[in-house]
């Protein structure tokens, strides 16, 4: 079995994927046309999925989001996003979506949630992919807006709408001010995560843990600037959802083969990492490709890839008995995969 076959067959969970970032270029073009959304000039629609930094990326991300209008549109993009996860061998997904950008376009929360929740049911029926939704706060908007977000999201809280996240550009918008919003969400029974240490300093990772009380950290690369915090995250078994292609395209850590790349140093330090995609079609990737990229650029053996896949199950917001059952099942499948002779195929 070659590496490509191995990473696709590996049972794994996707825990860091943004719905608007998971819209295929062709679907974006179709929805923009249908809903009369003006796009910048392009030759191939794929040209719009090229950017050099997070700020440029977020402009296109918002444009994609604004192309999604009715419940059928939300169903379509969520269904295709989950199909993409399943096709990469994902067995479970927790995914973010950014309701505020749609709200600003005049779309009701009922419209967004009805389309997305139906797609989650359909994906479970059609691909056996169980999924959970994490509405995420746009940290660039005001604190008032994030309280309003909570008032609109909490009525939809359910087994499927499982927690909240904090995304968009972290560097100018640190996590600390969102403490009261996170307190309220926690009291309402929401699970908690936040983007921290992607562009902002290690102190943001500490604040996300100490003030927001998040259970895991999205990205978190700059935790490596604080050795004491690293030691604490290891002791507390904090999971970091890291996204290799996203670092190459959206951060200044462009070279995964670099000995100083934070994913390399986080792994070597012994932090608990979960490999994820962030925005798969917008970053020209899928979950299997992210595992393969890490294996190829960081010379990870298959045992290490299997350990990373099991981390994704440990860090997932599943109930303990489901996790135990799935762990037994995944471990059996992984043992079988690891027992297969390794083949190297030209070009892979």
Told to judge if 94 belongs to the known catalytic residues of this protein, a careful annotator would answer: no
CA 311 to chain centre: 15
Q: Is the dihedral of CA 180, 181, 182, 186 positive or negative?
A: positive
* 276 belongs to the binding site for Zn ion (CB under 5 A): no
* 290 belongs to the binding site for Zn ion (CB under 5 A): no
User: Looking only at residues 178 through 207 of this chain, which bind ligand ADE when binding is defined by CB under 6 A?
Assistant: 195, 198
- DSSP letters spanning 283-329: GT--HHHHHHHHHHHHT--HHHHHHHHHHHHHHS---HHHHHHHHHH
Minimum CB separation of residue 251 from ligand ADE in Å reads 9
Q: Hunting for tokens 């719905």 — which residue is that?
A: 19
Are the C-beta atoms of residues 321 and 286 closer than 8 Å to each other? no
Burial class (CB in 10 A: 0-12, 13-18, 19+), 43: exposed
Site string for ligand ADE, 244-283 (x = CB under 6 A): --x-------------------------------xx----
Select which of 14, 94, 170, 198 is catalytic.
198
Which of 6, 28, 113, 168 binds ligand ADE (CB under 6 A)? It is 168
User: Looking only at residues 35 through 54 of this chain, which bind ligand ADE when binding is defined by CB under 6 A?
Assistant: 54
Are the C-beta atoms of residues 176 and 214 closer than 8 Å to each other? no
* 16 belongs to the binding site for ligand ADE (CB under 6 A): no
Minimum CB separation of residue 172 from ligand ADE in Å reads 12
Work out whether strand 191-196 and strand 163-167 pair parallel, antiparallel, or are unpaired.
parallel
* 18 belongs to the binding site for ligand ADE (CB under 6 A): yes
- How many residues line the site for ligand ADE (CB under 6 A)? 11
Between CA 25 and CA 284 the distance in angstroms is 10
Active site residues per annotation: 198
Task: Note the residues at the interface with Zn ion (CB under 5 A).
Answer: 278
Task: Note the residues at the interface with ligand ADE (CB under 6 A).
Answer: 18, 21, 54, 61, 167-168, 195, 198, 246, 278-279
């Amino acid at each position: 079995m070659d590496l490509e076959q191995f990473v696709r067959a590996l049972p794994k969970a996707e825990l860091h994927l943004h719905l608007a970032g998971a819209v295929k270029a062709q679907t974006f073009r179709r929805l923009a046309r249908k809903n009369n959304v003006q796009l910048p000039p392009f030759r191939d629609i794929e040209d719009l999925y090229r950017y050099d930094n997070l700020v440029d990326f977020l402009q296109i991300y918002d444009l994609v989001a604004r192309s999604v209008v009715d419940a059928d549109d939300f169903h379509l993009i969520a269904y295709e996003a989950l199909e993409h996860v399943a096709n990469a061998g994902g067995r479970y997904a927790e995914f973010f979506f950014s309701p505020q950008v749609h709200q600003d376009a005049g779309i009701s929360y009922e419209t967004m949630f009805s389309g997305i929740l139906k797609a989650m049911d359909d994906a479970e029926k059609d691909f056996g992919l169980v999924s959970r939704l994490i509405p995420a706060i746009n940290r660039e908007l005001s604190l008032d807006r994030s309280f309003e977000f909570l008032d609109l999201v909490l009525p939809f809280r359910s087994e499927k709408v499982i927690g909240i996240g904090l995304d968009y550009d972290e560097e100018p918008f640190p996590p600390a001010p969102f403490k009261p919003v996170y307190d309220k969400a926690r009291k309402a029974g929401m699970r908690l995560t936040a983007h921290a240490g992607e562009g902002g300093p290690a102190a943001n990772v500490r604040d996300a843990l100490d003030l927001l009380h998040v259970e895991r950290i999205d990205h978190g690369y700059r935790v490596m600037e604080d050795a004491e915090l690293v030691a604490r995250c290891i002791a507390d078994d904090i999971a970091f959802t890291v996204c290799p292609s996203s670092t190459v395209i959206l951060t200044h850590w462009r070279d995964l083969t670099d000995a100083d790349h934070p994913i390399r140093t986080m792994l070597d330090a012994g932090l608990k990492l979960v490999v994820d995609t962030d925005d798969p079609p917008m970053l020209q990737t899928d979950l299997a490709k992210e595992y393969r990229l890490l294996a190829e650029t960081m010379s990870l053996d298959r045992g290490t890839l299997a350990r990373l896949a099991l981390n994704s199950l440990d860090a997932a917001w599943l109930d303990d008995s489901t996790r135990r059952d799935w762990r037994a099942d995944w471990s059996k499948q992984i043992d079988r995969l690891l027992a297969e002779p390794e083949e190297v195929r030209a070009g892979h």
